[in-house]
Amino acid sequence: MQTMCNKVDVVHVPDGFLDPATSVSTGVLAAGTVALALNRARAELDDRTAPLAGLTAAFVFAGQMINFPVAAGTSGHLIGAVLTAVLVGPWTALLCMTAVLLVQAVLFADGGLTALGTNVTLMGLLAVLVGYGVFRGLAAVLPRTRTGVLTAAGGAAFLSVPAAALTFVGLFALGGAVDLPLGAVASAMTGVHLLIGLGEAAITVAVVGAVLAVRPDLVHGAQGLRTAAALQDRRPTAAGAAR
Phi-psi region of 231 (alpha: psi -120 to 50; beta: other; left: phi over 0): beta
Binding to other proteins by CB under 8 A, coded x per residue (else -) over 35-54, reads x--x--xx---xxxxxxxxx
Give the C-alpha separation, 67 to 2, whole Å: 15
Closest approach of other proteins to the CB of residue 50, in Å? 4
Residues in 180-199 at the binding interface with other proteins, rule: CB under 8 A: 180-181, 184-185
The stretches of the chain forming alpha helices (DSSP H) are: 2-5, 20-45, 49-63, 81-88, 90-108, 116-119, 131-141, 146-175, 182-214, 238-242
Please give the residues from 129 up to 158 whose contact with other proteins meets the rule CB under 8 A.
none
Minimum Å distance from CB 65 to other proteins? Answer: 7
71 binds other proteins (CB under 8 A): yes
In this structure, the dihedral spanned by the alpha carbons of residues 69, 71, 72 and 74, taken in order and rounded to 10 degrees, is -50
Residues 196-215 that bind other proteins (CB under 8 A): 202-203, 206-211, 213-215
Q: Tell me how many residues contact other proteins (CB under 8 A).
A: 82
Query: Could you tell me the sign of the dihedral formed by the alpha carbons of 213, 216, 219, 221, in that order?
Result: positive
- Position 95 contacts other proteins (CB under 8 A): yes
Residue 226 in contact with other proteins, rule: CB under 8 A: no
Phi, psi of 107 (to 5 degrees): -95, -25
99 binds other proteins, rule: CB under 8 A:
yes
166 lines the binding site for other proteins (CB under 8 A): no
Give the shortest CB-234-to-other proteins separation in angstroms: 31
